[in-house]
């Protein structure tokens, strides 16, 4: 059972006190839910988080797999010069998806210089108790829903073929 958790998380920079200051008080229920999910991820001993979200330029004709040497994330664009995190990619999982997906769906491998906040904010919050977690990051495209559903099927196929404990 390598796919241990699947969840959807918000990505607003306002979730972080370093960006929104005391305004995070109004987001207390959301932050509590995200913290509970972070604890569940740690209890499930998740080794890889598969993130699906925009990690740069949305492409019109291909879904993307981000495979940089390291995923870097910061919030300098929001005036936060303190928050930063580095994540290691799960190259093996990415390669499994790529080898299967390139023949079954429009998938392009990219190496963005940094994670966008749309992916970085949820990862920052959800991996709070997982210092060694690896990341596999996929981006949507301006394609029909059927191509995005096919990506989900490829991810499930890849997850079923590994012993790595995966959260999507």
- Give the model confidence (pLDDT) of 38-51 as tens digits: 999 999 999 999 99
Question: CB of 73 within 8 A of CB of 120?
Answer: yes
Per the prediction, the chain carries an average pLDDT of: 91
* Ranges in the chain, pLDDT < 50: none
The distance from CA 18 to its chain's CA centroid, rounded to whole angstroms, is: 21
Q: For residue 89, list its beta bridge partners.
A: 135
141 secondary structure, DSSP code: B
Dihedral sign for Cα atoms in the order 143, 57, 136, 126 = negative
Q: What pLDDT does residue 1 have? A: 55
Question: CB of 167 within 8 A of CB of 129?
Answer: no
User: What's the whole-model pTM score?
Assistant: 0.92
Direct distance between the N- and C-terminal alpha carbons of the chain, in angstroms, rounded to an integer? 13
Distances, alpha carbon 104 to alpha carbons 67, 149, 157, 161, in Å: 19, 12, 12, 17
């Amino acid at each position: 059972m390598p796919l241990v958790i699947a969840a959807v998380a918000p990505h607003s920079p306002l979730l972080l006190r370093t960006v929104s200051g005391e305004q995070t008080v109004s987001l207390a229920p959301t932050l509590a839910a995200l913290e509970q999910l972070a604890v569940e991820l740690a209890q499930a001993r998740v080794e890889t988080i598969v993130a699906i979200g925009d990690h740069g330029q949305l492409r019109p004709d291909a879904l993307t797999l981000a495979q940089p040497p390291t995923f870097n994330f910061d919030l300098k664009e929001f005036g936060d010069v303190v928050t930063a995190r580095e994540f290691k990619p799960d190259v093996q999982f990415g390669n499994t998806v790529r080898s299967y997906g390139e023949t079954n769906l429009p998938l392009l491998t990219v190496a963005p210089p940094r994670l966008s906040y749309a992916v970085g904010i949820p990862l920052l919050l959800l991996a709070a108790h997982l210092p060694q977690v690896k990341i596999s990051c996929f981006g949507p495209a301006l394609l029909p829903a059927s191509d995005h559903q096919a990506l989900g099927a490829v991810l499930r196929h890849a997850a079923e073929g590994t012993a790595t404990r995966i959260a999507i």
